[in-house]
Amino acid sequence: MIILKRTHIKLAFSPYSLCEKMTEMISIGKIKKNLQTKRVGRRIYCYKVVSSTNNVAKKLAEENASEGTVVVAEEQTSGRGRLDRKWFSPKGGLWFSIILKPEVKTVDASKIVFAVSLAVANTLRKNFNLKAEVKWPNDVLVNGKKICGILTESVTSDKSLKYVVVGVGLNSNISVKEIPRNLRESTTTLKEELEREVELESLLCKLLFQIEQEYTTFLNKGFADILKRWKRIASFLGKRVEVVEAGKKYDGVAQDVDEEGLLVVRLTEGTVKKFTVGDIKVRL
């Protein structure tokens, strides 16, 4: 069923429930044709412009939207990453959020970001033959540059997990010249790496399929399986890094990411420190 925003016109469109009118860059028909998931993306809200897909998804979740509901937008005016940092989100990128309702402990909800970043990296590897890697805690890199950021936001009720919104921002059909100057050296896009544009609908469907696979693995097998495969494509492990936590810098060697998702660093003075949050940069 398609629900056209504001006009409230309803059209038969089973078994999918794709909401909002067709946008210029994102075709509902192409999504319907390519989507192969069982749960994720079976209801999709498509927008031309939103402040943040995570904000829209959280509002829908509060209105009891079903698990697997997806919000996708051509453009975000206030896209954000961790610590409320602004995420550059112009037309041409793939900006979407997924509502998940895992039956896990609240403390384990943050581990979903590892499953999603693994899914994104593997999608880029399998479909575009790109050297995609993961970087703690929530980035996907190609050739050492950030191409995707992931933001998970958990909401609890009476100390139990109510839902998780996973936001994914993938730099797709964007020229590097469009990226703010201060970010160009550390950022890349699919268009830059492939020297061509990609079909966003097909890419979205591939990502949703892989995310659903890894999310299902997380629920059925636990975090250990996800973490083991995540670490295989985490090239920063074993290297000298600088970690910034709460404005303070730490130098050392990234030894591991433990079973709780914490970054383990042996500092230059010989002590070992575990980080729950922070920014990591590989030192040359």
Separation CA 6–CA 28 (nearest Å): 18
Q: Assess whether 222 and 244 both reside in one domain.
A: no
Separation CA 101–CA 224 (nearest Å): 20
Q: The domain that contains 245 carries what CATH number? A: 2.30.30.100
Residue 142 has pLDDT above 90, yes or no: yes
Domain total for the chain? 2
198-226: average pLDDT: 97
Is there a domain that residue 7 lies in?
A: no
Q: Are 5 and 20 in contact (CB under 8 A)?
A: yes
257-279: average pLDDT: 97
Q: Assess whether 219 and 251 both reside in one domain.
A: no
Note the helical H segments in the chain.
28-34, 53-62, 112-128, 190-194, 200-221, 223-232
Residue 156 has pLDDT above 50, yes or no: yes
* pLDDT digits 0-9 by tens, 75-98: 998 655 544 455 577 889 999 999
* pLDDT digits 0-9 by tens, 97-121: 999 999 999 999 999 999 999 999 9
Is there a domain that residue 162 lies in?
A: yes
Is there a domain that residue 17 lies in?
A: no
Q: Assess whether 182 and 256 both reside in one domain.
A: no
Q: Assess whether 63 and 151 both reside in one domain.
A: yes
Mean pLDDT of the chain: 88
The count of other CB atoms within 10 Å of the CB of residue 39 is 15
* pLDDT digits 0-9 by tens, 32-63: 899 999 999 999 999 999 989 999 999 999 99
Which among 21-30, 83-92, 262-271 has the top mean pLDDT?
262-271
Q: Assess whether 261 and 184 both reside in one domain.
A: no
> How many residues can be counted in the chain?
284
Range of the domain at 267: 240-282
What pTM value is reported for the model?
0.89
Q: Assess whether 222 and 249 both reside in one domain.
A: no
Under the banding of pLDDT at 50, 70 and 90, the label for residue 257 is very high
Is there a domain that residue 16 lies in?
A: no
3-state class of 141 per DSSP?
Answer: strand
